[in-house]
Amino acid sequence: MYSLWRTIDRGTLRDIALVCLADAIVGAAFGAISVSGGLPLWVPIVMSLLVFAGGAQFAAVGVVLAGGGPVAAVAAGLVLNARLLPFGFAVADALGGRWWTRLAGAHVLTDESVAFVLRRSDRQGRRAVYWICGLGLFACWNLAVVLGALGGQGIADTGVFGLDAAFPAVLLALVLPRLADRGTRNAALLGAAIAIAATPFLPAGLPVLLALVGLVPAILSSGTPAKSEREAA
């Protein structure tokens, strides 16, 4: 482990520490909202240990607190976490060769750890930043969730502190950077329109899943340029 630390400069360690701090704040909010919203204390804690995926956890708990069933909650989390599959291929060399290191590495895979790995070209450096960032985030997130959940027991009304807005705010923050692409923006707008239209008629959680229909035009149109080029050739 000491050799891993020696391969990382102070600037990178500082950046990782700042990311851990930011995630800890979000984790505390997640724990507080989950418990104050009516979930048992153990739910956000166990979920964070076993799932460890902030966006998916927010999505799943948000569906449950809105009145949705467990199936819809799990489906929402899986859909949001599907983005991690290609990330795993991109950083596979940083996880190590043994099966148990790959299993542990897959569990601490996050957007942040992938971003740090992609900044490095040397294998040793990629491995170092991945594990330091991944394990650091895992520790900070879970500790913050516990503290937030304990604090959430004393919050009767999440609206007093504005915590009731944290779920949509976090999810919106995850989505906004992707909206720079026109195709993604159009798909998001179509999906949002479908979800809003379906909300009065479907149980909580299902309109969000139905919004995936908004991806269909984007998927169909993605093959059009390539097809046109082949025809022109």
Distance of alpha carbon 104 from the chain centroid: 18
Q: What is the pLDDT of residues 33-74, one digit of tens each?
A: 888 888 899 999 999 999 898 878 887 888 888 777 788 788
Residues 6+ apart with CB under 8 A from 38: 65
Q: Do 40 and 94 have their domain in common?
A: yes
The Cα 198–Cα 20 span in angstroms is 38
- Say if CB 152 and CB 160 are below 8 A apart: no
Say whether both 109 and 15 belong to one domain: yes
Domain co-membership, 195 together with 168 = no
- Number of domains, the chain: 2
CB within 8 A of 131, min separation 6: which ones?
A: 4, 94, 105, 108
Tokens representing 152? Answer: 């959430």
Question: Residue 153 phi/psi, 5° resolution?
Answer: -65, -25
Domain boundary residue among 159, 180, 201?
Answer: 180
Pinpoint the alpha helices (H) of 42-122.
42-50, 54-65, 70-81, 84-90, 99-107, 111-118
pLDDT score, position 32? 87
Instruction: Find tokens 């984007």 and name the residue.
Output: 218
Residue 190 pLDDT greater than 70, yes or no = yes
- Tokens 């999906």 sit on residue: 191
Residue pointed to by tokens 């895992």: 138
pLDDT tens digits, one per residue of 65-123: 877 778 878 887 787 777 777 778 888 888 877 888 888 888 999 888 888 888 887 88
- Please check whether residues 102 and 149 belong to one and the same domain: yes
The set of residues, in sequence order, having a beta carbon less than 8 Å from that of 51 and lying 6+ positions away, is 57, 77
Same domain? For 224 and 206 the reply is yes
Determine which of 52-56, 97-101, 124-128, 225-229 has the lowest per-residue pLDDT on average: 225-229
Residue 87 shares a structural domain with residue 43: yes
Domain extent for 133 = 2-180
Report the pLDDT value the prediction gives residue 139, as an integer from 0 to 100. Answer: 95
214 in Cβ contact with 197 (< 8 Å): no
